[in-house]
Structure 1
């Protein structure tokens, strides 16, 4: 059996890798998949915020921010990369109840505010693993909600999957976003082939002891990327951003030729995996 992909794992090089996305902030914004409206509904029903605000950790360009802001939720967004934060401000300009803070979550202070919800959309694995649970707990008031979610994608066509993996391996890519076939994903959140993926935070939350009412949910939906958008997506992924420039250019060229030869698009399974917990 193939190993489960490291969907949620801190690579050990979080400090440099978590800010490589800013080099291609526009491509990130154009190419990255978003999140299901059902996930937002689940989070807000669980949190029952009332008039309390939400805190978003690692907001990026606002793939999740806009969904919560559109529901009327006041959101404070902490984003470590100033270039990503600039795009985030543009994308949320119509929401006066969104505040964007450019800086590391580890250095940010809630300033005495108790947030009703702290959420992280495909970013929690970049936060310092030694401090993140303390930081989350200190930002949340009693009964506050922690919501962590990720959005992996998986290739549907086995032949295309194999061809993509061949390109990745020849250029030294580790942990590409399409490193598991869609058929390996079942119904249980955080799993591939029925096994929990590395870095899935449920066990850490349980061991911490300051959170309760743990809940996990998986949402599945179909995605179709044309060649240009898929290349934007890959160019925004840290596993590709850290490649030498000439390798990245050649990899994207070969991937583009492959997709164009197969109809100019790729069909993917989109996954949204959600963890919810409440402060004791």
Structure 2
């Protein structure tokens, strides 16, 4: 993630990231500690997994940017047969240890070897894919009637704590344009991704839908800090020598709130059907 998220949230990408798919350095920065990533990243709402599995005409599923296999394992538990495509060998190697079959390549240039699928999914990753090339590749690998499903989760702390997190970012990076977006909607960045994805799909897809799925999770201070270490914020903050300051300020804010909190958040998705 090149810039900071709207205050009060921790999206994978900012609202003002014009072309995140061009930031391969960012896309490939998450494999530094795959075990931490797999432990710290939230799972997707069961209702989302069930909706996608039910919409697919069959069980064969391609997981684009599968990472350590978080979503893939959830779809396996929903009786899907999953193949992952992942650009980072470190993430792919970890996913394989959890029982996920993964091939390493950028999705846009991945060789499907003539294989086709009943569903294509991408959890927290489609913004890293070139929109036009990704849509063309998706159309090529989906069977007629197949389901295209990309989704993101929005991590929205309670309002008071979100304001405290925003204050930490303002204090650490006072000149950063995103640090002062106090009125910004946490959903804004994701609505941008959904709009761009829908616009890029073209005539090969129909029945475009944008469902949302509420979810909640309790976090301790240390769990939230681990999540922050695996977010798109971590690399630019570390490169700027600011990561420890953000972690320390965030920890202080959570301690002041009692040491834990509950997210009442939303997962957003875009579903479409291959003509």
Deviation sequence 1:152-176 (CA, Å, 0-9, x none): 11122x2221110011233337769
Match of 1:86 among 76, 86, 93: 93
**Corresponding residue number in structure 2 for 1:118:** 120
Moved more, 7-16 or 127-136: 7-16
**Corresponding residue number in structure 1 for 2:250:** 255
**Corresponding residue number in structure 2 for 1:271:** 266
**Corresponding residue number in structure 1 for 2:3:** none
2:42 aligned with 1:48, yes or no?
A: no
Q: Give, in whole Å, the separation in 2 of the partners of 1:88 and 1:196.
A: 26
2:137 aligned with 1:130, yes or no?
A: no
Q: Give, in whole Å, the separation in 2 of the partners of 1:69 and 1:6.
A: 32
**Corresponding residue number in structure 1 for 2:234:** 240
Query: Are the aligned partners of 2:63 and 2:121 in contact in 1 as well (CA < 8 Å)?
Result: yes
**Corresponding residue number in structure 2 for 1:154:** 156
Q: Give, in whole Å, the separation in 2 of the partners of 1:83 and 1:275.
A: 28
Deviation at 1:180, TM superposition (A): 8.1
Q: SS of the residue aligned with 1:30? A: helix
Deviation sequence 1:4-43 (CA, Å, 0-9, x none): 9629974364211011111132222121111111111111
TM-score, normalized by length of structure 2? Answer: 0.84
Query: Are the aligned partners of 1:161 and 1:181 in contact in 2 as well (CA < 8 Å)?
Result: no
Query: Are the aligned partners of 2:28 and 2:88 in contact in 1 as well (CA < 8 Å)?
Result: yes
Distance 1:66 1:9, change over 3 A: farther
Q: Give, in whole Å, the separation in 2 of the partners of 1:19 and 1:216.
A: 28
Q: Give, in whole Å, the separation in 2 of the partners of 1:20 and 1:66.
A: 22
Distance 1:108 1:203, change over 3 A: closer
Query: Are the aligned partners of 1:155 and 1:180 in contact in 2 as well (CA < 8 Å)?
Result: no
Deviation sequence 1:218-272 (CA, Å, 0-9, x none): 1112221101110110111112222235311121122112212221113222211
Distance 1:137 1:19, change over 3 A: same
Query: Are the aligned partners of 2:21 and 2:127 in contact in 1 as well (CA < 8 Å)?
Result: no
Q: SS of the residue aligned with 1:161? A: helix
Q: Give, in whole Å, the separation in 2 of the partners of 1:236 and 1:127.
A: 19
Can you give the 5+ residue segments of structure 2 that lack an aligned partner in the other structure? 1-5
1:1-280 matches, cutoff 5 A: 6=15, 10-11=19-20, 13-49=22-58, 52-91=59-98, 93=99, 98-156=100-158, 158-172=159-173, 197-200=191-194, 201=196, 203-205=198-200, 208-244=202-238, 246-280=241-275
Q: Give, in whole Å, the separation in 2 of the partners of 1:128 and 1:262.
A: 41
Q: Give, in whole Å, the separation in 1 of the partners of 2:169 and 2:135.
A: 34
Query: Are the aligned partners of 1:9 and 1:125 in contact in 2 as well (CA < 8 Å)?
Result: no
Query: Are the aligned partners of 1:137 and 1:279 in contact in 2 as well (CA < 8 Å)?
Result: yes
Report the RMSD for the aligned CA atoms in angstroms.
2.8
Distance 1:175 1:80, change over 3 A: farther
Deviation at 1:103, TM superposition (A): 2.3
Greater share of helix residues, 1 or 2?
Answer: 2
